[in-house]
Amino acid sequence: MLTPQLVSLLTDQALITIVVVIAVVLVVGTTGLVVARRRRSELPAATKPAVEAPEPKVGEDAEEPRDTPTRTLEDAELPEAETAPAATLEKPESAQGRLVRLRARLARSQGSLGKGLLALLSRDKLDEEAWEDIETTLITADVGVAPTQELVEKLRTRMRVEGVGAAQARDILREELVALVDPSMDRSLKASRKDGQPAVMLMVGVNGTGKTTTVGRLARVLIAEDKHVVLGAADTFRAAAADQLQTWGERVGARTVRGPEGGDPASIAFDAVKEGIAEEADVVLVDTAGRLHTKTGLMDELGKVKRVIEKTAQVDEVLLVIDATTGQNGLTQARVFAEVIDVTGLVLTKLDGTAKGGIVIAVQRELGVPVKLVGLGEGPDDLAPFDAEQFVDALLE
Ligand SMILES: Nc1nc2c(ncn2[C@@H]2O[C@H](COP(=O)(O)OP(=O)(O)OP(=O)(O)O)[C@@H](O)[C@H]2O)c(=O)[nH]1
């Protein structure tokens, strides 16, 4: 561009000016490039916070504060494993709630006995006829002849000496009935582990008295007390009994050990106890069949069940279930069972279906064994621990 002719035309000063301008253009251009390159290399740094900010909002922990401990895979899986079965499990009624409700039911069913006696004793004139009526009321309520005579004798004496008016009559009747039901008997259930082994309970009784129902309901009572329970379906005589028991168990979370239909009850009882030991259960409840065809047959079966269990564990309770509505028949059954096996406690079922609560007194006398539980309905929580004073109070309510 600066041809020799043009150069010759330019003065020295103009030439210097052109060179300077070119140099300035070169310096400014180079600086611009360097700054632009620097800016470009700094850009990611400038946008970094914008990229980081949304990160905590991604995923299921989006709203968790930073210092929330991280859930491990095991932590995350636990709730699923625990809540799934809990959704189907029932929570049995607490002992306290059950007692209040069942006491009202007991009062309703036995009201005629208590109120009848009270009305007779509160008469202005307690003549021979009145005492005979009192005796009849007691006998009709299945109290039994001997206990009835004893009670009438005591009432006669005390009413003569102390009794004037309805209030005293009620107090005296209450005291004497409580004494007859015997509050000193030990009615506690041996339902705790001992020597590192579960407690073992056998449920015995005639067919249809409510054995299976009682095993299921007792399991609920124990589970409500946070005990770990295993059930043994050793009633292999009635096909549906094991299914019935398993259903009870599934509802509250107790495993049921069962065998083939018509199988050996002793071997199932043995397996149930073995399972209870393996699971470190608190209690093993064993349901048995109650065929009363012959006494020897019964003795053979129950005796064998007990002997076989005792190879691995002690039998802590043998509970005899009696249907309260069967009256004298129930007493005869109780006698036979007591000859065959050492009964440690009685369960009186269906007390809701009879006004004959006096059987509590008769059967305890007959066997010398305490009533420990009472059944007051067909519902799952209609089984209550028996208490002498509460029972008498319900009679007189
Ligand atoms: N009203 C009332 N019914 C009861 C009570 N206890 C049990 N039952 C009912 O009595 C019936 C017989 O009960 P189960 O438990 O099957 O009798 P079981 O003794 O096991 O009979 P087997 O299995 O044949 O030996 C059932 O319909 C129970 O619901 C109770 O306290 N009150």
Residue 250 · residue 380 · CB < 8 Å: no
Are both 216 and 255 inside the same structural domain?
A: yes
Are both 233 and 313 inside the same structural domain?
A: yes
Q: Sorting pLDDT into bands at 50, 70 and 90, what band is 16?
A: low
Are both 242 and 328 inside the same structural domain?
A: yes
Nearest residue (by CA) to ligand 1, atom 7, is 210
Closest approach atom of ligand 1 to CA 213: 15
Beta strands in the chain (DSSP E): 199-204, 229-234, 255-257, 283-288, 317-323, 345-349, 371-375, 383-385
Are both 130 and 245 inside the same structural domain?
A: no
- Report the pocket of ligand 1 as residue ranges, CB < 6 Å: 205, 207-213, 235, 238, 241, 289-290, 349-350, 352-353, 375-378, 382
Residue 234 · residue 269 · CB < 8 Å: yes
209 belongs to an annotated ligand binding site: yes
Are both 170 and 271 inside the same structural domain?
A: no
309 falls within a domain: yes
Q: Sorting pLDDT into bands at 50, 70 and 90, what band is 191?
A: very high
Residue 309 · residue 277 · CB < 8 Å: no
CATH code, domain carrying 222 = 3.40.50.300
Of the candidates 355, 199, 221, the residue with the CA atom closest to the CA atom of residue 282: 199
pLDDT in tens, 107-116: 887 777 888 8
- Per the structure, the complete domain to which residue 124 belongs is given by 95-181
**What's the number of domains the chain is made of?**
2
How confident is the model at residue 26, as a pLDDT?
A: 54
Largest CA distance in the chain: 166
31 falls within a domain: no
Average pLDDT, the chain: 80
Query: What's the 209 CA to ligand 1 centre distance in angstroms?
Result: 5
Are both 339 and 207 inside the same structural domain?
A: yes
Entry pTM: 0.76
In DSSP terms, 199 is beta-bridged to 283
d(CA 269, CA 213): 18
Mean pLDDT of 238-266: 90
d(CA 8, CA 238): 133
Are both 290 and 162 inside the same structural domain?
A: no
CA 46 to chain centre: 64
Are both 253 and 170 inside the same structural domain?
A: no
85 falls within a domain: no
How confident is the model at residue 18, as a pLDDT?
A: 59
Coil/strand/helix, residue 214 = helix
Nearest residue (by CA) to ligand 1, atom 23, is 241
How confident is the model at residue 111, as a pLDDT?
A: 73
Query: What's the 282 CA to ligand 1 centre distance in angstroms?
Result: 25
Residue 333 · residue 349 · CB < 8 Å: no
Interface predicted TM-score of the whole assembly (ipTM), two decimals: 0.95
Query: What's the 56 CA to ligand 1 centre distance in angstroms?
Result: 61
263 φ, ψ (degrees, to nearest 5): -70, 180
CATH code, domain carrying 101 = 1.20.120.140
Are both 312 and 338 inside the same structural domain?
A: yes
